[in-house]
Structure 1
């Protein structure tokens, strides 16, 4: 866990700001000891919207996923952080991506009984998808895909398929 991960998890805004301003740590660093969580995942989990804002201002990518496919929106949904979900949505962050089990943040919010988050996500998901569609039509590139995670998922699926073919 980097110094930035620790500061974000501890909700230490001043420390996060100092680290980012001095460029001592990449805001997109994935922590392999914590399932590839980034500082933004920690901030979403703790519900600290100010830390989320400063991380994103310094290049944090809200589309990055943990090894199980969770985006910051999944962590916010699990913890019932409605303000975080609203902020992520206002920044056009992906709030509707499926994790490796096929669960979107709305499903995670349902599981944990965060009805306010469920209501918001059910309304926000179609808006998010419409924005992506409009951007694609206009040729605007969005940062809404974690390419590394997508590649690992593809390779994992190919290994499963080739493993099942080897057994026949």
Structure 2
């Protein structure tokens, strides 16, 4: 876990800001020991909204996924971090992506009983999809795809061993 991961998880805004300002750490570094979580994943899970904001302002990509396909929005939904979900949505982060099992953040919030997040995410998903359509029509480029994860998913699908139906 990098120094930036640790500071983001701890919610140490000043340390995160200093590390980013000095370009000492990559805000998109994936921690292989922690399922490829980025500092933004940690900030979202812990509910550190201002830390998440400064990470994004310094280039953290909210579309990046863990090895299981979770975005920052999935982690915020799991822990009921409504303020983080609102921030992500306000910055046009993808809050409606499915993980490896097909679950969107709204489903994760349902599973954990965070009904305030469920209500918000249902409305926000529709707004996210509408914005995606508008952006496409206007030629606005969105950063809503984790290319590395998409490629790994393709490789995993192509390399699966067929099971015999008995």
Q: TM-score range by the shorter chain?
A: over 0.9
Q: Which position in structure 2 is the counterpart of 1:41?
A: 41
Q: Which position in structure 2 is the counterpart of 1:144?
A: 144
Partner Cα separation in structure 1 for residue 87 and residue 57 of structure 2: 13
Partner Cα separation in structure 1 for residue 76 and residue 14 of structure 2: 22
SS in 2 for 1:95: coil
1:83-102 Cα shifts (integer Å, max 9, x gaps): 10011000000000000000
Q: What does 1:1-168 correspond to in 2, within 5 Å?
A: 1-160=1-160, 163-164=161-162
How many angstroms does 1:138 deviate by?
Answer: 1.1
How many angstroms does 1:121 deviate by?
Answer: 0.4
Structure 1 residue ranges, 4+ long, deviating more than 6 angstroms after superposition: none
SS in 2 for 1:28: coil
SS in 2 for 1:69: coil
How many angstroms does 1:123 deviate by?
Answer: 0.6
- In structure 1, list runs of 5 or more residues that go unmatched: none
1:74-120 Cα shifts (integer Å, max 9, x gaps): 00000000010011000000000000000000000000000000000
1:130-160 Cα shifts (integer Å, max 9, x gaps): 1011101111110000000000001100111
SS in 2 for 1:132: helix
Aligned length: 165
How many angstroms does 1:45 deviate by?
Answer: 0.4
Partner Cα separation in structure 2 for residue 149 and residue 159 of structure 1: 15
SS in 2 for 1:164: coil
